[in-house]
A and B are shown apart, each in its own frame.
Chain A
Amino acid sequence: MTKASPLPDYNFAYLDEGTKRMIRRAVLKAIAIPGYQVPFASREMPMPYGWGTGGVQVTASIIGPTDVLKVIDQGADDTINAVSIRSFFQKTAAVQTTTHTNEASIIQTRHRIPETPLRADQILVYQVPIPEPLRFLEPRETETRTMHALEEYGLMHVKLYEDIARHDHIATTYAYPVKVAGRYVMDPSPIPKFDNPKMDRSPALQLFGAGREKRIYALPPFIEVKSLDFEDHPFSIQRFDKPCALCGAEGVYLDEVITDDRGGRMFVCSDTDHCQSRLTQGQGPTGPLASSGEEAGR
């Protein structure tokens, strides 16, 4: 090798300032047109497409040295990809990180919204795999853009109606489409529909980054976000029969953990920070810790 070190020194938060400016422009446009997908010149990142490159680019463009970053995947701070993205920002931006929702100024997430209500001084950055809510009804971008432009969302309602006709339920349980401020139908990223109501009129700014698909969209604070439904089939969220087996929390989203090969299961908080905080505060399960042997289906 003739080159002493072929690899360059990276800029603060990896992206060069020109790229950050370009992304911030897209973010501003997205905030100005809530729910509209703004095309942006997504960069190739040192992590694979589909693994959070959109969220990482948005976070990298808005983060400053005084920010406190939290990264979650499936609600947890310690899932491998969350660990990897957090250490990426520790390495490239040397920012303070946290696992506590209320300490973070920026929260990057994949597939969940924290249980703790967010504040106006916080930004939630979603990683988005497929930003187009109409994609599975119409694969062509040229078509879906026209459909959005004409506010032509009949196809989506037909799909939801067909679900009801077939299953008596709307069979979409995550990435449940929403309408933003009565205009754009938007994909909330693959969060469980349990989390959809948290988006509505949230005081926090919510930004969505899709790196591979090169789109950014946003929900400005306090914007109306309505999950699509019908008058006679109103939107409803998942309910769990039992509280969290560890901290006893109710009305939160639970992960099912298989405890043995005889049908034993326990249900615990998907939001690990929420669970930990409650345990630290001395909260605990009301019933036996592990409801092993419980019948599947409960």
Chain B
Amino acid sequence: MYVAVKGGEVAIRNAHRLLDDRRRGDRTVPALTLEQITGQLALSVDRVMAEGSLYDPELAAMAIRQARGDLIEAIFLLRAYRTTLPRLGPSRPLDTGRMRIERRISATYKDLPGGQLLGPTFDYTHRLIDPAMAGAEPIEAPERRPCHPDSNWPRVTDLLGDEDLIEPDGEGAEEPGDLTRDPVSFPTDRAVRLQALARGDEGFLLALGYSTQRGYGRTHPFVGEIRIGFVVVEVDIPELGFSICIGEIRVTECQMVSQFTGNGSESPRFTRGYGLVFGQSERKAMAMSLVERALRAEEFDEERLAPAQDEEFVLEHCDNVAATGFVEHLKLPHYVDFQAELELLRRLRREQEERSRAPQAAGADETREVAE
């Protein structure tokens, strides 16, 4: 009976064997392949890569399979692997203006150079469960447009910027901080904040972004533009003296055109909220841009009252790997601390009982309490 409260290596091993069994499920059903996961659960893979801060669809698919589809667990697996990788250096800033676009929409202009492109979206689908999803009916090939490498897709914020109607984007010449390599100290700069949000929990950011729309730190947002597509990643090689392309990644970018500022000396201009996420994740990119703008309250002398405007609150709690670890650590044994609390509680109750048994003493106690 004494042993029963303690665990052991055998128990752990057996638990993990059972986990392996449940993960595999019915052996007569073929096992999931990584191609199936990356191909048919692509948005799960994208989320795991985004919040795991590692762009590797194959590893993300492995993590999803290993985690039995638990995406936060998969994100954790990817993060724990990522942390072992050497950091070679920063890339050049991505040029999303030169994106190979799959989807691009603007809510601020009906038409604009390059046009609006819906791409593969759930928008305007009727959310009716499709009976075809129960089977494997053939899917017809999609309509495709020719891709012109030189086609012009200016960013909406650049169009506004040409007229000086929106704040400039800054140079970003310095190497940004890296919150996975340096401890964060508050207040942070915008680069570190964006980094934290980019790997922050989608659900948490969604709720916070939503709260700004409901009046908790309102920012009067307009979706200037959302674009999804491929951008090249370039790194500077000091030995060569020029940059080379190391690959292409799919990203979702959201530029939120927000509340304008200005005073007597400065002409009024729109401000920016920015969201950039690995893969296709409009919801995350939009929520991120709302929260990012809300967090810039200080810059614009806005009153900071809402949770979404509170940098320490948002950044300290947006990481789902940290959050899940600490919430779930309550499962660990705490009986030493609990015993300490029990002991005190029993003592307090005993003392109270003794007091109620001796009425004079209780009276004396009351007078003393009043005196205190």
Contact = CB atoms under 8 A, between A and B. Distances in A.
A266 B243 CA distance: 71
Contacts of B187: 142
A171 B325 CA distance: 28
A40 B336 contact: no
Given A73-B333, A169-B347, A80 B340 contact: no
Given A48-B325, A257-B5, A74 B336 contact: yes
A296 interface: yes
A257 B2 contact: yes
B186 A142 contact: yes
Interface in B335-356: 335-337, 339-344, 346-351
B213 interface: no
Interface stretch (A28-36, A187-195, A219-227): A187-195
B6 A212 contact: no
A40 B179 CA distance: 11
A287 B39 CA distance: 68
Among A44, A73, A141, find the residue whose CB has the most chain B CB atoms closer than 10 A: A44
Nearest to A77: B6
Interface residues of B, number: 60
A87 interface: yes
A111 B334 contact: yes
Contacts of B85: 8
Given A79-B7, A174-B336, A43 B83 contact: yes
A84 B12 contact: yes
Interface in A14-50: 16, 39-46, 48-50
Contacts of A81: 332-333
Nearest to A14: B84
Contacts of A84: 12
A173 B80 contact: no
Given A48-B328, A50-B329, A79 B6 contact: yes
B58 interface: yes
Interface stretch (A60-68, A201-209, A248-256): A248-256
B140 interface: no
B332 A83 contact: no
Interface size class of A (residues with CB under 8 A): 35 or more
Contacts of A16: 84, 86
Interface in A226-273: 238, 246, 253-257, 259, 268, 270, 272
Contacts of B111: none
B239 interface: no
A256 B1 contact: no
Nearest to A161: B372
Contacts of B328: 48, 50
B181 interface: yes
B312 A129 contact: no
Interface string B299-342: 00000000000001000100001101111110011111101111
Contact of A268 (B2, B84, B180): B2
A198 interface: no
Contacts of A212: 322, 325-326
Given A111-B336, A169-B344, A212-B326, A259 B183 contact: no
B59 interface: yes
Contact of A129 (B34, B79, B329, B342): B329
Contact of A214 (B7, B82, B183, B339): B183
A41 B344 contact: no
Given A73-B333, A173-B344, A165 B372 contact: yes
Contact of B180 (A40, A44, A191): A44
Given A44-B321, A140-B312, A190 B337 contact: yes
A254 B343 CA distance: 11
A4 interface: no
Interface string B71-85: 000001001111111
Interface in B1-41: 1-2, 5-9, 11-12, 34
Contacts of A79: 6-7, 333
B185 interface: yes
B58 to A, nearest CB: 7
A39 B7 contact: no
A167 B180 contact: no
A66 B329 CA distance: 31
Contact of A257 (B1, B325, B332): B1
A158 interface: no
Contacts of B327: 50
B182 interface: yes
A78 B346 contact: no
A101 to B, nearest CB: 16
Contacts of A167: 348
Contact of A256 (B12, B58, B342): B342
Contacts of B80: 44-46
A140 B311 CA distance: 10
Contact of A78 (B7, B322, B369): B7
Given A44-B83, A49-B322, A49-B326, A174 B337 contact: yes
A254 B335 CA distance: 10
Interface in A51-76: 51, 53, 73-76
Nearest to A26: B183
B343 A39 contact: no
Contacts of B2: 246, 257, 268
12 contacts: A10-B84, A41-B183, A43-B180, A44-B79, A46-B80, A74-B336, A168-B348, A169-B344, A173-B340, A190-B336, A212-B326, A257-B2
Interface of B: 1-2, 5-9, 11-12, 34, 58-59, 62, 76, 79-86, 180-187, 312, 316, 321-322, 324-329, 332-337, 339-344, 346-351, 369, 372
Given A80-B11, A174-B336, A175-B337, 15 more contacts: A1-B58, A10-B84, A41-B180, A41-B181, A42-B183, A44-B321, A48-B321, A49-B326, A50-B322, A80-B333, A129-B326, A142-B312, A193-B340, A212-B322, A253-B336
The 9 closest A-B pairs by CB, nearest first: A49-B325, A50-B329, A80-B7, A48-B325, A173-B340, A50-B326, A39-B183, A44-B83, A174-B337
